[in-house]
Chains A and B, each alone.
Chain A
């Protein structure tokens, strides 16, 4: 009989957004799991797919509108150039902290044994082909496939 010790064995992370702060949150959590000996898989869906889109992943931005913690008034955050400005500021700070960029982080995750899955529905919706994606993804899967992979004791599902 299964006895739940509370041990985390696997993190299934769903990334549904491609704003930099969400992407980094998902990546740090996935990599951090592997560093602790916990399995990790990331499912990229809806706008999260841009994170593994070969051409788009290099141009992800932070959101300057609708984010009160940025302390930029919404009207100002919407001005042309603000997003690029905030993004370059954030990238500079992250570089100082020795954080890899999105592409290098994807490679780091793969090398650490994180599985990367693209959502089939979102792929169809955005008319993306597998060739459009980062080459090392593990596959294009349905939500049902995702749940099947999540089965087993000690698995946690996290939506970002």
Chain B
């Protein structure tokens, strides 16, 4: 699926996750965040950077791993990205939805 963000077109799946990380930019991340009513602060960006680093290292992500990352604890993660934090944060980061049950 194609999706128009500003004057850029990105490829996304039916859940809105980007399918080509090379198309990602900070501006696109900001726009996806707005769709979830999140204004990204430097604290959000630290977590997004961490998620992208893990993705590049091909480390599977889970809530538990985020909690142990030293970047953010689980409570704060739920505050920063309310509702489904791992889903929302990975969507903003432009990486695939983690296939994790924990």
Contacts and interface: CB of A to CB of B under 8 A. Distances in A.
Contacts, number: 39
B74 A111 contact: yes
User: Chain A: interface residue count, which band?
Assistant: 10 to 19
A113 interface: yes
- B62, B75, B102: residue with the most chain A Cβ atoms closer than 10 Å: B102
Interface in B64-79: 64-65, 67, 73-75, 78
B86 interface: yes
Interface stretch (A11-19, A32-40, A49-57, A73-81): A32-40
Interface in B31-85: 62-65, 67, 73-75, 78, 83-85
A31 B84 contact: no
A143 interface: no
Interface residues of B, number: 16
Nearest to A29: B101
A153 interface: no
A37 B83 contact: yes
B84 A35 contact: yes
A35 B87 contact: yes
A28 B84 contact: no
Interface of B: 62-65, 67, 73-75, 78, 83-87, 101-102
Interface of A: 28, 31-32, 34-37, 98-100, 108, 111-113
28 contacts: A28-B102, A31-B101, A31-B102, A32-B101, A34-B78, A35-B84, A35-B85, A35-B86, A35-B87, A37-B83, A37-B84, A37-B87, A98-B62, A98-B64, A98-B65, A99-B102, A100-B64, A100-B102, A108-B64, A108-B67, A108-B74, A111-B67, A111-B73, A111-B74, A111-B75, A112-B63, A112-B74, A113-B78
